[in-house]
Amino acid sequence: MLKPKCDIHIEFDRTVRRFAPGEPITGAVVVSVDAETQCKALPLTLGWSTHGKGNRNGKQVARYNLFSGTWSPGTYRYPFNLPCPVSPLTYHGKLLNVDWYLTTSADVPWALDPKARQDLWVLPAQGSPFDLVQGESEHVENSAAGKVIGVIVMCMLGLIGLIPLGAALATFSPLMIVFSLLWWGVLGVIAWSVIKPRVAKSVFSSFDAQVQRTSAAHLAVSVHYRTQKRVNMITAKLEVEEVVVHGAGTNRTTHRELRYSDPRPVMVNATGQQHHQFAFQLPDPALVGFSFGASDNDLVWKVVLDCDIEQWPDLEETIPLQVRPRPVASLGGYR
């Protein structure tokens, strides 16, 4: 005897599966069976998921049971009407994607559960108003204990490095000289990477950068500083970047992909107190993506300031931005 066949699929009432936050998502789950079939439950779930190169993240925001009972042979339609969620918004990038899905599966005893999935786009209309605010600074101060441990470790590595250095000077052994150069080279690179930002900033008696939205589509970045060193050039860059973390086992890796970059260089060639203003045209977030942050998956808006100082390490400062669609008060949300 052949197994009874149970087909299940999701239909939307409209052909373009794009919905604005708050808009009703309407359609039906269609079930076709060719023999009497018992169904313990027919849940319909709405949820989002990230996919791409980063570790997956997601959440189910709604779940409804559409049916439980027995189907006689035939086709059944179970309509649904759900409010479109507000966030996160659909995003398709290179390393990071965020998609919303409707999924359903019929819980049929003693058989593989037939399943169906459909994706939908959650996006505000292009050109919709959005909010932009300056985010929390990414600059993280190390704890005092961490600093002390770092200094102790570096001192110990320096002391250990004296052994091959002493041997190299005493014996002039080429092996010892190469080993000693390698040791001190690596140690120097590590030490430089740690102290470079501090050294770069040490020549500024004051440094302040602020962002301000001057109109719906424009952003101004004001930089005030005072220094005795000659600053050759300052470049302000408005950037949107995908940052994802992938990995288990030995390969936990961070991947980055720049989605948008607008560099604005200014020649300075001066010392003393300076003030610069950079004006940016804001890209439409409906095109490049709104700010998104979930574990191991981020879409980051930021302004990066790069100061080229004469005969001194460059200073790089990052101002994170948060770009969100303007909330509509009447929209209900999923909890």
Partner 1 sequence: MADARTRRRGYEELGLFWNPFGTVEAERWSELIVPRLDLDAVATQLRTSRLAVVFRGHMGRGKSTHLRALHTRFPEAPFTYLGPEASPRTHVPAAPVCFLDEAQRLAPRLRRRLYRQVIRAGARRGPERSMGALALTSHEDLRPELEAAGYTVVESVIEGLSEANLRTIVDRRLRWAARPGASLETLRPSLADDPLLARMHARFGDDLRSIQGALYDHLETLRDREADREHDRKPGERVEAQV
Q: Which stretch binds partner 1 (CB under 8 A): 14-22, 143-151, 176-184, 325-333?
A: 14-22
Query: Taking CB under 8 A as the rule, does residue 143 contact partner 1?
Result: no
Sign of CA dihedral 313, 222, 271, 266: positive
Query: Taking CB under 8 A as the rule, does residue 135 contact partner 1?
Result: no
Q: Which of 268, 286, 304, 331 binds partner 1 (CB under 8 A)?
A: 286
Query: Taking CB under 8 A as the rule, does residue 94 contact partner 1?
Result: yes
CA distance 108 to 67: 12
Angle at alpha carbon of residue 311, lines to 307 and 314, rounded to 5°: 25
CB distance 269 to 230 below 8 Å: yes
Q: Which of 31, 120, 231, 300 binds partner 1 (CB under 8 A)?
A: 120
CB distance 266 to 279 below 8 Å: no
User: Where in 106-203 does DSSP place strands (E)?
Assistant: 115-122, 130-134
Interacting residues of 259 by C-beta distance below 8 A, sequence separation 6+ = 93, 94, 240, 241, 242, 288, 289, 299
Q: Cβ closer to partner 1: 288 or 331?
A: 288
Here's the x/- map for partner 1, 194-233, by CB under 8 A: it reads as ----------------------------------------
Query: Taking CB under 8 A as the rule, does residue 250 contact partner 1?
Result: yes
Site for partner 1, residues 265 to 284, rule: CB under 8 A = 283-284
CA distance 227 to 258: 32
Terminal-residue alpha carbon distance, the chain: 47
- For residue 29, count other CB atoms closer than 10 A to its CB: 23
Query: Taking CB under 8 A as the rule, does residue 103 contact partner 1?
Result: no
Task: Enumerate the β-bridge partners of residue 239.
Answer: 261, 302
Q: Which of 44, 46, 84, 116 binds partner 1 (CB under 8 A)?
A: 116
Here's the x/- map for partner 1, 19-58, by CB under 8 A: it reads as --------------------------------xxxxxx--
Whole-number minimum distance, CB 240 to partner 1, in Å? Answer: 8
Q: Cβ closer to partner 1: 16 or 144?
A: 16
Query: Taking CB under 8 A as the rule, does residue 5 contact partner 1?
Result: no
User: Where in 106-252 does DSSP place strands (E)?
Assistant: 115-122, 130-134, 204-215, 218-246
Half-sphere exposure of 94 (CA within 13 A, CB side): 10
Q: Cβ closer to partner 1: 96 or 319?
A: 96
Q: Which stretch binds partner 1 (CB under 8 A): 138-146, 250-258, 270-278, 309-317?
A: 250-258
Sign of CA dihedral 53, 243, 286, 102: positive
Q: How many residues bind partner 1 (CB under 8 A)?
A: 41
Residues found near partner 1 in the complex (CB under 8 A): 9, 15-18, 51-56, 92-94, 97, 99, 101, 116-117, 119-121, 126, 246, 248-252, 258-263, 283-284, 286-289
